[in-house]
Amino acid sequence: MATGIIKQIFEDKWGEFKEKYPIRPTVLSEVKKMLTCKDMSEGYSKFCCPTCNEVRYVGFTCKSRFCTSCGRKATEQWV
């Protein structure tokens, strides 16, 4: 699965950043959720087409405000 550029930056630099700077527990939790967004190991739904028997797995979303996908959806709903 393709990873967005913001998520890729976090994956590359987050470990180094959190060792250098004090970070609130809430921020740690939200970033952890964002980094595992749509990760199949965190859970998924299985969809089967009754006509062609195609199977598709969709990873659960994180609903984190830091996630560019989930955070955007929440903002659009709020507006």
DSSP character string of 20-38: HS---HHHHHHHHHHHTTT
Predicted TM-score (pTM) of this structure: 0.72
* Structure token digits, residue 54: 């195609």
In this prediction, residue 2 carries a pLDDT of 54
Cβ-contact 61, 38 below 8 angstroms: yes
**Total domain count for the chain?**
1
Q: Which domain does 43 fall in, by range? A: 5-77
In this prediction, residue 19 carries a pLDDT of 93
Q: What is the mean pLDDT of each run of 10 residues along the chain (79 residues)?
A: 78 92 92 90 93 93 84 76
In this prediction, residue 7 carries a pLDDT of 86
* Structure token digits, residue 55: 């199977």
In this prediction, residue 60 carries a pLDDT of 93
